Chains A and B, each alone.
Chain A
Amino acid sequence: MKKAKMANYRIKALTGAEAAAEAMRQIAPDVVPLYPITPQTQIVEVYSQFVADGLIDSELVRCESEHSVMSVAMGASAAGVRVMTATSSQGLAFMFEPVFIASALRLPIVMNLVNRSLAGPINIHCDHADGMSVRDSGWIQIYNETAQEAYEYTLMAVRIAEHPDVQLPVMVCQDGFITSHSLVNVNVYDDEQVKIFVGNYNPRDTLLNSEAPVSIGALDFYDYFFEHKKQNFDAMENAKRVISEIQEEFSKITGKRYGFIEKYHTDDAEHIVVAMSSACGILKGAIDELRKHGQKVGLLKIMLFRPFPEFEVAQVLKNARSVIVLERVSGNGAYGPLYNEISSALYHYPNKPKLVNYVFGLGGRNFGHKDALNIFAEFDKVDTDFLDQNNKLRYYGVRE
């Protein structure tokens, strides 16, 4: 790989939300429908400031609800322009209906989702209940650990969404408050380079092209509905190849390597924790400490949740002794969504690890270094009492 050129980035102190807004500034989407909701508000607030300061030419549409936000986003996208927006929690819940339509109509909208628990009881802090509620909506979902990742994947998301073989909306997720409101150093890449990478949006067919008029959103019954859905499923499959290509292209700017997943000391690990988003940083710290004491522990970070990188995940986990799937969401009557994906990915392999589901951190319950160490200490229990059938769904950090 080529080395990154000198000084193609500036280090800025940004929160996760500001980092996402910074990416939006560089992309300069034509239309941004917006509605504030904690903890996402900062994204549209900072972005509005950029527009007000005249840094970018972008049409802000201040909507009366999130349902309208997604509806405006769909209309603008169908008209043939680049559209971005952002939301959280109840906002996503409120736009639930048009979220599914956006993907079905193949509109490449990019939305930053700042993960927050779904009420009730009402709570503004982080868990993944909002994102997981639309996991089968046909949107590509990327869960980011840091502000840097959220920034970079927001840039990549535009290209992924607009690729002719994909044409699907993308959700770029980061953890509410933990990532979105923590100030960190973010490498912001050169505006010009990013502009060239992002390029222009050339839609295949648009509502405003009177030369080749189309109707978008027409009735589609039992004769063709299934066929159009199949196209969506195939586009999701294509997305894996396209994401790889775009990551490869983007790495020429950043000099970094990207993947659907991140492996942290998994090659020789007996015990692996699977997790997503900000908790991964904490777990890496714990792994560093435990490795010093000779414990063979590792972390598998899932970044791409839709489409799910089943094969890549199985390659990492199939030879481990035991695996804890650590989720900031509960399946509520079943295993968590990530656990289901992981166990499906491993089912066909002969030497499966012991696989246990831990639910943690609901409603923003803090997960610190000590908690990460405690999770790794749980592996002793997992190894000994695994055969007890009632013990595979556990809760970490809830008071008895």
Chain B
Amino acid sequence: MAQLKGYKDISIGARAEGGSTEQFNTGSWRAIRPNINLDKCIHCMLCFLYCPDNAVKIIKYSDKQGGNPEVIGIDLKHCKGCSICSSVCPVKCITMEKETDALKRDVKE
């Protein structure tokens, strides 16, 4: 862990710089995890719009130089496992899996 700063070196009134959540693993307490079946995904972007944590990873329209934006997966560092994405998916390509099972699977793989 980084050296903690003194009170003269930190922001006034506990203001956090924009984007600082990037540094933290805020998804560590997730109990269930979304798995996307990208073969079934129609890239409608509903999960991206509904995700309260901005944890659906996409390729933006501007990065693709034409064509529609594309869903490419879930940012598991920040996903809290609320399963809203799974509920709003019109083609039911997002399924929720117990985090403990997923971790066991990750270790095996």
A: residues with CB less than 8 A from B are 104-107, 167, 204-205, 212-218, 220, 223-224, 226-228, 230-231, 234
Contacts and interface: CB of A to CB of B under 8 A. Distances in A.
Interface stretch (B7-15, B32-40, B51-59, B101-109): B7-15
Most chain B CB within 10 A, of A104, A105, A228, is at A228
B6 interface: yes
B7 A215 contact: no
B14 A224 contact: yes
Most chain B CB within 10 A, of A104, A220, A226, A231, is at A231
B50 to A, nearest CB: 21
Interface string B17-33: 11110000000000000
A204 B11 CA distance: 11
Contacts of A215: 15-18, 20
A231 B12 contact: yes
A212 B18 contact: yes
A216 B18 contact: no
A106 B11 CA distance: 11
6 contacts: A106-B13, A214-B11, A215-B15, A215-B16, A226-B7, A228-B13
Given A227-B7, A228-B7, A105 B13 contact: yes
Interface of B: 4-7, 10-20
Interface of A is mostly: loop
B18 A214 contact: yes
* 3 pairs of A and B residues whose beta carbons are closest in the complex: A213-B18, A106-B13, A227-B7
Contacts of A105: 13-14
Contacts of B4: 223-224
A49 B106 CA distance: 66
Nearest to A225: B14
Most chain B CB within 10 A, of A204, A212, A227, is at A227
Contacts of B18: 212-215
Most chain A CB within 10 A, of B6, B15, B16, B18, is at B15
Contacts of B6: 227
B7 A218 contact: no
Contacts of B17: 213-215
B41 to A, nearest CB: 30
A70 B14 CA distance: 19
A324 to B, nearest CB: 40
A234 B11 CA distance: 14
B74 to A, nearest CB: 23
Contacts of B12: 106, 167, 204, 231
B44 to A, nearest CB: 27
A227 B14 CA distance: 9
A104 B14 contact: yes
Most chain B CB within 10 A, of A204, A212, A215, is at A215
Given A212-B18, A215-B20, A224 B13 contact: no
Given A105-B13, A205-B15, 11 more contacts: A104-B14, A105-B14, A106-B13, A213-B17, A216-B13, A220-B14, A227-B7, A227-B10, A228-B7, A231-B7, A231-B10
A104 B11 CA distance: 12
A204 B7 CA distance: 18
A228 B7 CA distance: 6
Contacts of B16: 214-216, 218
A213 B19 contact: yes
Nearest to A232: B13
B39 to A, nearest CB: 36
Contact of A216 (B5, B15, B19, B20): B15
A212 B12 CA distance: 15
A107 B13 CA distance: 8
B20 A104 contact: no
